[in-house]
Amino acid sequence: MEYQSEGVDASLVEYEDNRPILDMFLQKPMGLLSLLDEESRFPQATDQTLVDKFEDNLRCKYFWIPKRVELCFGIQHYAGKVMYKVNGFLEKNRDTLPADIVVVLRTSENKLLQQLFSSPLTKTGNLATSRARVTAASRSLPPQLGSGRTKSPKYLLKVDTMEMMRHPDETTNMRRQTVASYFRYSLMDLLSKMVVGQPHFVRCIKPNDDRQALRFCKERVMVQLRYTGILETVNIRRQGYSHRILFEDFVNRYYYLAFRAHQMPETSKENAVAILERAKLEDWVLGKTKVFLRYYHVEQLNLLLREVIARVVVMQAYTKGWLGARRYRKEKEKRNRGAIIIQSAWRGHVARQNLKQIKKERDEAAIRIQSAYRGHRVRRDHRPQRRRCPPEAGGKTTKEEHMRSNSPKSKEAHTDHIHGGNVGPDSRDRQVKDFKRDKGQSRRQCNEALQGDS
């Protein structure tokens, strides 16, 4: 047992061991299932000879033959006494399948039937899909399935329940295996898996036999609890050490109770003791590699751990809140500074644009004012000079002179003067040159007069 391998004294734990019943069923050659297989091989065997063989060979307090009852025997199981009727035991155990039927099924056109009756079988009666898988499964089984204060019986030594039986191709001398042997190997396979593993069971309890809602039958529930071993399991749990935790797992799980959160202690036996002493627990035991605790120890440790974690969570919440608020303030200040910079740049841009527009409008207004004033001044200063200059030089003419110069007679006279009948080409050119010279002299005189006044 695990207590002995860890060096823990388990003498105080009292429980009812059902190993003798398992021995009575599974041991060879005097076990109940072995005797049933042996009797099934005899052609002249009957159900009565089977009962007689059981009575002669099974010397166990858990087996008895009731009086004045034929073809019947009883077994004291864990849950209570059970009576078995032997009628048809041998025939059902042989489970004989005629050879011609096997051949017909193997030659069937249905591929599924061909595969089912041609595939190898394990000793537990299951189909083996591949040899590699079966070999790997068989190698995983331990050589000894039993453990505890009593030595493992012979039927648990080197059991290869996954060994395959391949049906012959088309022969009738196939190796037959009885129902009892299938059951025996299946039970041995189950025991081997339970020994090497850490099984957890879920017990389903029926509240009543009528399948009615909100109805609880106390008597029926009590019978189920007794037969499923729940009460015995509870007693064993109270007396023994129901929780066996490795030092590494124990320290990693509960080191908050004795060490600081940022310190990761070594997974040693001394640190496990420090945690247990800090939690003020009593009646615990240390093994070679595990801590043995009672059921209430784990509850107390989990309660203390929840309290520590709750305090840590509160501290973390306040710390995270403070850090979050500070981070928010920094982000807010940073955003405000960024907003101020953006606003300042935009306002400066808008102000510069407005200033440029105002300056442009002022310059345009000043130019218009200066232009108007200069025009007014030039016109004012040039008015007397225009009166003195001849009209040809740009001088001012009166209304009467303008009317006379534009009259038809004046135009005809001017035309006759230029285009006279007796005037030659040379004379005409000379007159034009003289006119242009006189006009240029008049303009120069007017300009000199204007410059002298200014």
At 40-75, the pLDDT tens digits run 888 889 999 999 999 999 988 899 998 888 889 999
Q: For 277-298, what is the mean pLDDT?
A: 88
Q: What domains can you pick out in the chain, each with its CATH number?
A: 2-196 (1.20.58), 200-240 (no CATH), 245-350 (3.30.70.1590), 389-453 (no CATH)
* Mean pLDDT of the chain, nearest integer: 77
Q: For 327-336, what is the mean pLDDT?
A: 95
Q: For 7-18, what is the mean pLDDT?
A: 73
Share of the chain above pLDDT 70, in %: 70
Catalogue the long-range contacts made by 15-23 (C-beta closer than 8 Å, 24 or more residues apart).
15/232, 15/235, 15/236, 15/239, 16/78, 16/232, 17/148, 18/78, 19/146, 19/148, 19/150, 20/60, 20/62, 21/62, 21/75, 21/76, 21/77, 21/78, 22/187, 22/191, 23/153
On the question of pLDDT at 199 being above 80, the answer is no
> Using 50, 70 and 90 to split pLDDT, how confident is the model at 165?
very low
Closest CA to 445 of 375, 388, 398, 397: 388
DSSP 8-state code for residue 119: S
Most confidently predicted of 124-138, 287-301, 339-353:
339-353
> Using 50, 70 and 90 to split pLDDT, how confident is the model at 401?
low
On the question of pLDDT at 139 being above 50, the answer is no
On the question of pLDDT at 132 being above 90, the answer is no
Specify the pLDDT at position 326. Answer: 95
More confident residue, 272 or 400: 272
Question: Per residue in 212-247, pLDDT tens?
Answer: 999 999 999 998 888 888 888 788 777 788 888 898
Closest CA to 82 of 62, 52, 68, 67: 62
> Using 50, 70 and 90 to split pLDDT, how confident is the model at 380?
confident
Specify the pLDDT at position 141. Answer: 42
CA atoms within 13 A on the CB side of 42: 11
| Nearby residues of 61 by Cβ (< 8 Å), 6 or more positions away | 76
Specify the pLDDT at position 452. Answer: 58
Count the Cβ atoms, other than its own, within 10 Å of residue 70.
11
> Using 50, 70 and 90 to split pLDDT, how confident is the model at 448?
low
pTM for this structure? 0.49
